[in-house]
Amino acid sequence: MICQYHMMNLIQYQSSIQFKTEGGQKKLWDIVRNKWIYVTPEEVVRQCVLWYIIDDKKYSKRLIAVEKSIIYYKVKKRFDIVVFNKKLAPIILVECKNPEVALDQKSLNQIQTYDHIINGQHLWLTNGHENIIFAKAAEDDQIRSLADIPSKQELKKG
C-alpha cells in the first residue's frame, strides 16, 4: 500500500480541551463520552481529533464512538474513533498514536485489522502531526490517498 503523509497540526486543538487535576492526577474532559479521562499523550491526540471532526468537519457527537471494544478472531481489540452516518454505517475509522510514535507499517496493519471488522469508507491514522488518510471506493474496495477527511457536507454531495 502506498502511503502519503500529510502534515496537519491537530495539536492546535489542545487549547479547546478542558483539563483538571484531581487527586494528583491530570484529567481531561472527553467531549463525546462526556466524562473525565486520565491524560496520556495518545488521549490528547484523540481529543484533538474529536474537536477537529466536530468543529471543523461538522460531524455530530451523537454519531461518534470512542474507544469501543471489537472482537477480531477471538481477540479483543479497541478502536479509537469511528464516525457513523445517520444510517449508522461507519464512514470514518481513526487510529490515534502518541505524538512521539512514528506512523509505520505496524500502525497501518493495526488500522487495517480494525477495518476488517468495521469496514469504514475512510481510514485515518494520526499522531497529531503526521496523517495518513485513505478512502475506499465502494464498488471495488480500491484505496486512494487523501489529504484530509471529507466534511459532513462533502459526503452529502458525493
Architecture of domain 6-157: Alpha-Beta Complex (3.90)
Contacts of residue 146, Cβ cutoff 8 Å, sequence gap at least 6: 6, 122, 133, 134, 135
pLDDT for position 41: 95
> Any idea which of 8-17, 25-34, 101-110 has the lowest mean pLDDT?
8-17
Question: What is the CB neighbour count within 10 angstroms for residue 77?
Answer: 14
Average pLDDT over residues 92-114: 93
pLDDT digits (tens, 9 = 90+) for 49-64: 999 999 999 999 999 9
- Reference 66, options 95, 41, 40, 38; nearest CA is 95
pTM exceeding 0.75: yes
Rounded to a whole number of angstroms, the CA Rg of the chain reads: 15
In terms of pLDDT, which residue wins out, 153 or 96? Answer: 96
- Reference 131, options 106, 105, 96; nearest CA is 96
The amino acid at 45: V
> What confidence category does residue 139 fall into, taking pLDDT thresholds of 50, 70 and 90?
low
